[in-house]
Structure 1
Amino acid sequence: MVRRIDMAGAGGVRLAAWEFADPPKGKREGEPVPGALLLHGLMGRAAHWARTARWLSATYHAVALDQRGHGRSGKPAEGPYTLDAYVADAEAAVERLGLAPAVLVGHALGALTAWRLAARRPDLVRALVICDMRASAPGERAQRAWEEWFASWPLPFPTLADVRQWFGEDDPVLERPRPARGDYFAEVMAERADGWRPVFSRRAVRMSREGWVYDAHWDELAQVRCPTLVVRGPDGELGRAEAQEMVRVLPHGRYAEVPEAGDLVHYDRPDGWRSAVEPFLESLAR
């Protein structure tokens, strides 16, 4: 069962949230079911969490959110696409869907959104899973490299096979083929009159990235008081030393590494991802 839930986010922006499995019933009649909100990264969409949401749904009312500018959610031309707007949307989702206190699971920008919400509204957040997001600022050089890469996409793609080929094999930034990466980007394309183009707003993506790439986020991280798992892949954006420093800064931080994973840890290595995250979630129940 897949169910779409439409709701209003900050400033009235339309948000689409998704259940990819039926929520579990409480062990006793009337017993509340714990909630989980899954937040994708920049250029992602809620569907990237489908496998995770399905196994989480054995225990949690798991909901994945298409964040503003992405997926089936609203894409206002002028935004705002600030960190505060993303956090306010996540806050609205937790409250309006009755998920609090929720486990927040975030990838990249979604992870930053999650820990900023946990720092701002600790009453809404039970625990965090942070996947492949740095607390330090990538900076100007990284932003220029990203802009050049973003502009290099050979749009429109003639077919979905071409999408998979370019992102999984032909993209110059790849050191080796990554078929899962090709599949990941194929999920964020839609067929238009001239070929396949992203379902997200490219302008929104640029504006969103500019909102966080020049700033460090250690202060907000240190304010997170709930149990937090920091997960990385050896080939991802988050280095081991920085990830372990993030764990040290967190009052209740833990560390996990998924072997052979890149930056799309949950999508690239779903079994390793589950093996890393599930014991952490089980420890919350204990």
Structure 2
Amino acid sequence: MPHLTTSDGTHLAYRDHAPPGPTAGKTLLLHGLAGHMGEWDALLPALLTSGFRVVTYDARAHGASTRRPPTVTRQSYVDDAATLVTELALAPVTLIGQSLGGHTAMLLASARPELVDALILVEAGPAGPSPEVPAQIGGWLDSWPTPFRSLEEAEGFLGHEGWARGLEERADGWWPRFDRDRMVDSLTELAENAYWQEWSRVSCPTLVVQGEKGTMRPTEATDMRALRPGTRVTVVPDAGHDVHLEQPERLAEAIERFL
């Protein structure tokens, strides 16, 4: 698996998928907290069939990328995405990000508009201060009965095989490919700040995708559209926060209509 090395020495594992025919565009897919690039596998065929070159990657502190990078600030995540876009010659790129990955995509589109052609946010937005979130996520991660004895056990606990595929097998079972403290630290700034000014500076066409049973704040998408009236919003039925895992076909349809 290829890697890119960032300015702070972090190694980013990625995969570069070429379409079967002429390239119609380029996309970078950004997974959420505690996730991995394989979460997008069900969405890949539709994007490739539509002619998109698709790059997926493990964010810093996740998966096959550097597990304990020097920092996990919001800026470091954004810089990583920018490095991939520039080093792999993806610009102008369509960014598709879920949850924390969507927030990273939004900040990149805000700070580096010349790199981004379109923005698709899946269960992600500017949000606002949520001081309880780090403790909630920490408690959730602490509840994992690791090591899991099998992938089937992990799937049953985590709720989807896509999450289970992110684990690594060791002699005594299946373990997360991340460290709990780096996950909690990755949320520190999000818990303390809102990002509406950054959202207001996004200039590219944007689609916001919500799960019908998702976790975005009740008025968040409406407020996003009020601040940027051209924003398109779609709600995917029978989906929670992990729209890309629970309803990949419907997500693909929404993306195709938008693009």
Q: TM-score, normalised on structure 2?
A: 0.93
Structure 1 residue 269, shift from structure 2 partner: 0.6
Aligned to 1:137: 128
Give, in angstroms, the shift of residue 18 of structure 1: 0.9
Q: Which residue of 2 aligns with 1:45?
A: 36
- Equivalence for 1:231: 209
Write the letter of the residue equivalent to 2:18. Answer: D
**Map of 1:121-160 to 2, 5 A cutoff?**
121-137=112-128, 139-160=130-151
Relative distance call for 1:224 and 1:187 in structure 2 (3 A) is same
Deviations 1:155-208 (A, max 9, x none): 11111121112222xxxxxxxxxxxxx312201111122221101232321211
Distance in 2 (CA, whole Å) between partners of 1:155 and 1:50 is: 25
For 1:52-91, list aligned pairs within 5 A.
Answer: 52-58=43-49, 59-76=51-68, 79-91=70-82
Matched, 1:13 2:5: no
CA contact (8 A) 1:225 1:251 kept: no
> Which residue of 2 is the match for residue 174 of structure 1?
none
Query: Quick check: 1:23 aligned with 2:15?
Result: no
Structure 1 residue 251: deviation in Å? Answer: 5.2
Determine the C-alpha separation between the residues in 2 that align with 1:240 and 1:229: 17
Gaps of 5+ in 2: none
Asked if 1:202 corresponds to 2:180, the answer is: yes
- Residues matched between the structures, number: 258
Output the CA distance in 2 between the equivalents of 1:211 and 1:192: 33
- Deviation track 1:17-73 (CA, whole Å, cap 9, x = no partner) reads 113x433543xxxxx752110000001111111222222123211111111111111
Q: Which runs of 5+ in 1 are unaligned?
A: 27-31, 169-181, 282-286
Residues 36 and 61, structure 1, Cα contact 8 Å, conserved in 2: yes
Task: Give SS of 1:165's match.
Answer: helix
Name the CA distance, whole Å, in 2 between partners of 1:51 and 1:149.
Answer: 26
Q: In 1, Cα distance between the equivalents of 2:54 and 2:230?
A: 23
- How does the TM-score come out when normalised to structure 1? 0.85
Query: Are positions 1:246 and 2:243 aligned together?
Result: no
- Counterpart amino acid of residue 247 in structure 2: R
CA contact (8 A) 2:137 2:184 kept: no
SS for the counterpart of 1:256 is strand
- Percent identity over the alignment is 36
Q: In 2, are the aligned partners of 1:18 and 1:65 still within 8 Å (CA)? A: yes
- 2:111 is aligned, of 109, 120, 134, to 120
Task: For residue 219 of structure 2, give the secondary structure of its aligned residue in structure 1.
Answer: helix
Classify 1:70/1:222 alpha carbon distance in 2 versus 1 (closer, same or farther; 3 Å). Answer: same
Q: Measured at CA, do residues 138 and 24 of structure 1 come closer, stay the same or move farther in structure 2, by a change above 3 Å?
A: farther
- TM superposition shift of 1:146: 2.5
1:278 Cα shift?
A: 1.0
CA distance in 2, matches of 1:139, 1:239: 11
AA paired with 1:22? A
Q: Secondary structure at the match of 1:11?
A: coil
Separation (CA, whole Å) in 2 of partners of 1:10 and 1:221: 26
Computing the radius of gyration from Cα coordinates, the structure with the larger value is: 1
**What code does the residue aligned with 1:233 have?**
G
Structure 2 CA distance for aligned equivalents of residues 34 and 153 of structure 1: 39
